[in-house]
Amino acid sequence: MENDLLDEVRQFGAAFVDTPIDVRVEVSDRVRVSVTVGDGTREFSCNAPQGDRTEVKRLIKRFAKHSLYTALSDISGVRLPWGSLTGIRPTKLAYAYLSEGGRADGIAEYLSRTFSVRSDRAEIVQRIIETQRRALPDDLTGAVDLYIHVPFCNGRCDYCSFPSADINAKGADRLLDGYTDALIKEIGIVKRYMSDRGLRILSVYIGGGTPSVLGEEDISRLLEAVDCRGAEFTFEAGRADSLTAGKIDVMKNGGVTRICVNPQSLNDATLARMGRRHTSADFYEAYSLAASAGLSINTDIIAGLDESAEDFERTADGIAALSPDNVTVHTLSRKRASLLADTDPYCPDIERMTEYAFRRFGDYEPYYLYRQKNMAGNLENVGFCKRGTECINNITVMEELVPVFACGAGSISKRISGGVIARYASPKDVGLYIAELDERTEKKLLFFDGA
Ligand code: SF4
């Protein structure tokens, strides 16, 4: 339990760094938790939970974490937006509550009561569950998602933690050609497997990296291999400098229905500071190309970049004026593998920024949410959509509802059987992925067979 309790203390930033904290848990017919912070001790207790051993342990841990959070919150006077929740998706808890007979309109109250989640966040979760339940198909039997990973980008953003190769690096051209060929081969094998077993593709997502760095011909070949007309089909074109009218035509003709064009910020100075090699003008141009082609558009923005709250608000205003179908509001996460790993995560205006965005996109429906480690203010990422334009892939992946057949270097496939989730990772190294393609693909399909 120690790591979970430490995560709880870390949520309060530097407030308790030099304070001795002792947490003791005793279990009999009641669970008693005593939390000593400095010289003062607070006691908490509840009835001992019932159920199997794993479930009992889980509930005791949850109570201990919540007791610690309550003590630290009382002492510091700080009420965190997500209360005692760390390391678990809030929507997962909401679904667990529903499966135990909870009412859909009682989710917010349940999260506030059990985990001290602040009412604004608890209500978002309740609204998300409502949207998801309305948007998801009734029957997910035999449904799978197909994910295709293209780990190449035009440069590297400072906050990025994904393994992606820079297309400007020496030898990248050759690697990229070999990669597209290997990917097409893998997609063919995986699609045959799915067809032999009568699986139906619910959604396709081509992500990365920045898949739109591929040339028109490669995109065309890739889409031909996927050939999934009728399914929701997203193509990530994260960096505006990678899009052209020709590529958008190819996407449209190849069955793509949805595209992500992500400015992250509309402030050119911020973009330059973050190592993004495009300007806000590039973004507007790419956006207008995608909009003229009639594609459903998602735009990502990030709160907590090295810029002022006013800069962020101008970005939110600019995006709202475009009125895309989907907007994802991220909170900056300083991941260990990124160039920002050792920078100061404190962002005094982070709550002001996210609250502004939530208000600005108040006409949209929140439809998925996740939290990551080291996020500014311990906040969250929230996807907003206009009603009826939810990205089903974002919901099924976030809520782990259907298996994911993932192709490409560094991609992670997911098998779901009897509520148990298992993962299969392909090698991150592009050269190794190409060299071992046959053997690894065979292993992956055996993995899906449960072997
Ligand atoms: S575009 Fe995306 S994947 Fe590429 S470097 Fe930037 S954050 Fe990373």
Pocket test for ligand 1, best of 150, 153, 154, 328 (most atoms within 8 A of CB): 153
Q: How confident is the model at residue 6 (pLDDT cuts 50, 70, 90)?
A: very high
Q: Cα separation of 92 and 37, whole Å? A: 31
* pLDDT above 90 (res 413): yes
User: Which two tokens mark 319?
Assistant: 């995006």
- Per residue in 232-271, pLDDT (tens digit) is 999 999 899 999 999 999 999 999 999 999 999 999 999 9
Least confident of 212-221, 314-323, 328-337: 328-337
Structural domain spans, the chain? 1-78, 79-119, 143-407
Lowest-pLDDT range of 135-144, 167-176, 188-197, 264-273 = 167-176
Residue nearest to ligand 1 atom 2, measured at CA? 209
Q: Residue 69 has what pLDDT? A: 96
Lowest mean pLDDT among 56-65, 226-235, 293-302, 340-349: 340-349
Share of the chain above pLDDT 70, in %: 100
Mean pLDDT of the chain: 94
- Ligand 1 centroid–CA 36 distance in Å is 44
Q: What span, in angstroms and rounded, lies between the C-alpha atoms of 219 and 289? A: 17
* pLDDT score of 348: 86
Q: Quote the ligand 1 centre to 209 CA distance (angstroms).
A: 5
Give the distance, in angstroms, between the CA of residue 312 and the centroid of all CA atoms in the same chain.
Answer: 20
Q: Ligand 1: which residues within 6 Å by Cβ?
A: 153, 156-157, 160, 162, 164, 208-210, 238-239
Predicted local confidence at residue 135, as pLDDT: 97
pLDDT at 376: 85
Report pLDDT for 164: 87
Q: Nearest C-alpha to atom 6 of ligand 1 is from which residue? A: 157
- Residue 278: the pLDDT is 93
Pocket test for ligand 1, best of 159, 160, 283, 328 (most atoms within 8 A of CB): 160
Q: What average pLDDT does the segment 16-32 reach?
A: 93
Write out pLDDT tens, residues 38-81. 889 999 999 999 889 999 999 999 999 999 999 999 999 999 99
331 and 354 Cβ atoms separated by less than 8 Å: yes
pLDDT at 426: 97
Task: Name all contacts of 346-353 with Cβ < 8 Å and 24+ positions apart.
Answer: 346/13, 346/376, 347/304, 347/376, 347/377, 349/308, 349/309, 349/312, 350/303, 350/304, 350/376, 350/377, 350/379, 351/81, 351/377, 351/379, 352/309, 353/303, 353/304, 353/309, 353/312, 353/313
d(CA 62, CA 5): 10
Binned at pLDDT 50, 70 and 90, residue 372 comes out as: confident
Greatest mean pLDDT range, 3-12, 16-25, 340-349, 359-368? 359-368
Residue 189: beta bridge partners?
A: none
Cα separation, 334 vs 158, whole angstroms: 10
Does position 395 have pLDDT exceeding 90, yes or no?
Answer: yes
Q: Which two tokens stand for residue 89?
A: 């998706």
Query: Residue 220: pLDDT above 90?
Result: yes
pLDDT of residue 419: 81
pLDDT at 229: 86
**Residues 98-148: tens digit of each pLDDT:** 999 999 999 999 999 999 999 999 999 999 999 999 999 999 999 999 999
143-407: CATH architecture: Alpha-Beta Barrel (3.20)
The secondary structure element, H or E, covering residue 201 is: strand 200-208
Instruction: Please report the atom of ligand 1 found closest to the CA of residue 239.
Output: 1
Average pLDDT over residues 281-297: 97
For atom 5 of ligand 1, the residue with the nearest CA is: 156
CB 152 within 8 A of CB 165: yes
Q: How far is the CA of 242 from the centre of ligand 1 (A)?
A: 12
What is the C-alpha end-to-end distance of the chain, expressed in Å?
A: 33
Q: How far is the CA of 160 from the centre of ligand 1 (A)?
A: 6
